[in-house]
């Protein structure tokens, strides 16, 4: 007899495990998921949703059995994200999940009652999504990804892997007010690393192209990709342009380095989505978002692409590779 069978036999009606209670006969619950960035064919959102649905299954929610999951991917297009937000809310879901500030904001404009759980959202308090981390209030809660202090780590890594740099340009999402705080943090930290700083707010792919074209005309330049919906939607273009112009670059997430970027340091987004499933589970069982505190990330990863470093003519210090969670040969 396996452990699940034993628990089922021993548990009375009041003492059933949560997973067993979730599988009781009844109406199928509905979860809507909205991604702001990425393309429809990008594997990154699939990996995150895969971790999310897998953990939901561990908690007793099986897609197609007692829960239906609807996924929409906005591809960095604000109008498309808003249209998908309206479409998902029109499906009358029990709970919504979203991956970015703009995606959450799009949902928040349409509903003040349907619970929303976010994963990988920057500064939800500063962005006006929740009242506070400890007491979110309203119908929104979830898992944050960065604090501005991480910008110093990005500059440190960039200087360590490319010590000849004298200039740095930071790409960030113009439409996301939270990113402005991070841009200011880079501006304040840059002199400590003897770097001249240029901000590059972007709203679309053309802005991304223009910003990188401009910095490529300056010698000894490096790139910091702060992140955001626009950057994630065009992350392959950013990586390709950095390679074309031979620009050392540091990125906020591992998928950039796995796509050919030089180095990344940031949260493990797949882990955040796995954790988000626990909040969705609790809400489906009766909890309210206002009572679920926003949680900060606990798992970060450093990814180094040695193949890209070699193409750029950079010698990666052994001390740096020793600290890496993943080294791409």
Q: What is the pLDDT of residues 287-320, one digit of tens each?
A: 999 999 999 988 899 999 999 999 999 999 999 9
Mean pLDDT, the chain, as a whole number?
89
* Residue 326, C-beta contacts closer than 8 angstroms, at least 6 positions apart: 254, 257, 301, 302, 303, 304
Give the other-Cβ count within 10 Å of 36's Cβ. Answer: 32
Residue position matching structure tokens 């649905």? 53
Q: What are the two backbone dihedrals, phi and then psi, of residue 246, each rounded to the nearest 5 degrees?
A: 55, 50
Burial of 278 (0-12, 13-18, 19+ CB in 10 A): middle
CA separation for the pair 309, 329 (Å, rounded): 10
CB 52 within 8 A of CB 273: yes
**To which residue do tokens 């052994």 refer?**
318
User: Which among 101, 69, 63, 107 is positioned nearest to 87, based on CA atoms?
Assistant: 107
Closest CA to 189 of 226, 239, 230: 226
List, for residues 32-60, the tens digit of each pLDDT value. 999 988 888 888 999 999 999 999 999 99
8 A C-beta contact, residue 268 and residue 301: yes
Q: Mind listing the domains of the chain with CATH numbers?
A: 3-145+268-299 (3.40.50.2300), 150-267+301-328 (3.40.50.2300)
CA distances from 261 to 55, 221, 290 (A): 30, 15, 39
Q: In sequence order, what are the beta bridge partners of 265?
A: 302
**Residue 10 neighbours by CB distance under 10 Å:** 10
Closest CA relative to residue 304, chosen from 268, 251, 267: 251
**18 φ, ψ to 5°?**
-55, -40
pLDDT along the chain (329 residues), means of 10: 32 33 66 90 91 97 96 91 97 96 93 96 86 95 90 96 96 79 90 95 93 93 90 93 97 95 95 96 97 92 97 96 96
pLDDT recorded at residue 235: 93
| CA pair distance 85, 314, nearest whole angstrom | 44
């Amino acid at each position: 007899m396996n452990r699940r069978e034993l628990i089922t036999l021993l548990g009375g009606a009041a003492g059933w495990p949560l997973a067993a209670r979730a599988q009781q006969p009844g109406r199928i619950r509905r979860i809507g998921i909205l991604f702001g960035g990425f393309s429809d064919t990008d594997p990154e959102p699939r990996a995150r949703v895969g971790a999310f649905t897998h953990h939901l299954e561990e908690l007793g929610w099986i897609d197609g059995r007692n829960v239906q999951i609807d996924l929409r991917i906005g591809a960095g297009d604000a109008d498309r994200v808003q249209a998908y937000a309206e479409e998902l809310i029109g499906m009358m879901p029990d709970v919504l999940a979203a991956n970015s500030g703009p995606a959450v904001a799009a949902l928040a404009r349409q509903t003040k009652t349907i619970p929303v759980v976010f994963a990988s959202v920057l500064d939800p308090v500063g962005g006006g999504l929740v009242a506070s981390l400890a007491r979110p209030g309203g119908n929104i809660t979830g898992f944050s990804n960065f604090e501005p202090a991480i910008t110093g780590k990005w500059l440190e890594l960039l200087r360590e892997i490319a010590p000849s740099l004298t200039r740095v340009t930071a790409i960030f999402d113009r439409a996301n007010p939270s990113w402005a705080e991070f841009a200011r943090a880079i501006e304040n930290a840059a002199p400590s690393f003897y770097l001249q700083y240029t901000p590059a707010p972007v709203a679309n792919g053309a802005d991304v192209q223009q910003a990188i074209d401009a910095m490529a005309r300056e010698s000894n330049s490096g790139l910091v990709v702060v992140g955001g919906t626009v950057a994630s939607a065009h992350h392959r273009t950013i990586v390709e342009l950095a390679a074309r112009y031979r620009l050392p670059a540091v990125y906020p997430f591992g998928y950039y380095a796995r796509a050919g970027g030089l180095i990344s340091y940031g949260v493990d987004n797949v882990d955040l989505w796995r954790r988000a499933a626990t909040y969705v589970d609790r809400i489906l069982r009766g909890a309210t978002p206002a009572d679920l505190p926003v949680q900060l990330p606990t798992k970060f990863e450093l990814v180094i692409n040695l193949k890209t470093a070699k193409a750029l003519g950079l010698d990666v210090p052994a001390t740096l590779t020793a600290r890496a969670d993943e080294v791409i040969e």
